Amino acid sequence: MPSFDTVCEPNMVEVRNAVDTSSKEIGTRFDFKGTSAALELKDKEITMFGDADFQLTQVEDILRNKLTKRNVDVRFLDIGKVEKIGGDKVKQVIKVKNGIETEDAKKITRLIKDSKIKVQASIQGDAVRVTGAKRDDLQAAMALLRKDMTELPLSFDNFRD
């Protein structure tokens, strides 16, 4: 039975490279000299440090630019609130989304069932497996998901015939 998995996984190597190049640019830029502007990556969290909210938006802009150049979708970023730390310093935590949350997985399965395409969708942990009798039906389901689920950077893997 032909099938494929719908997943939401960023390329963490490219994310790390983008954070590293952003850190280098922050270190060399004239407007960041003598400030506490910095980026830090731990597991799947990017922490931005700065002296003010304005500086955090500049650091975020640099990061988004580097991620885009490395073909990492910026929809993977889940930007948190600005927090004050000692003195006049601020930080902001950005979580890198990995996997499809249960609410989004339910939306995907409901979307596929309501479309009347002859395929079945089942939730498999943090992925959604779609199976069907014909390859064309699976490709139609992929096109439907790309068109209607624009808020998630979905990718498809394990396509089996």
**Does the pLDDT of residue 62 top 90, yes or no?**
yes
Query: Per-residue confidence at 159, pLDDT binned at 50, 70, 90?
Result: confident
- Structure tokens, 52: 């003010």
Residue 28 is predicted with a pLDDT of 92
Q: Which of 123, 124, 145, 141 is nearest to 132 (CA)?
A: 141
93-123: per-residue pLDDT in tens?
999 999 898 999 999 999 999 998 999 999 9
> Where does the chain have alpha helices with state H?
12-28, 53-69, 102-114, 135-148
Q: Report the C-alpha gap between 69 and 120 in whole angstroms.
A: 36
Q: What is the pLDDT of residue 160?
A: 85
The whole-number pLDDT of residue 151 equals 87
Mean pLDDT taken over the chain: 91
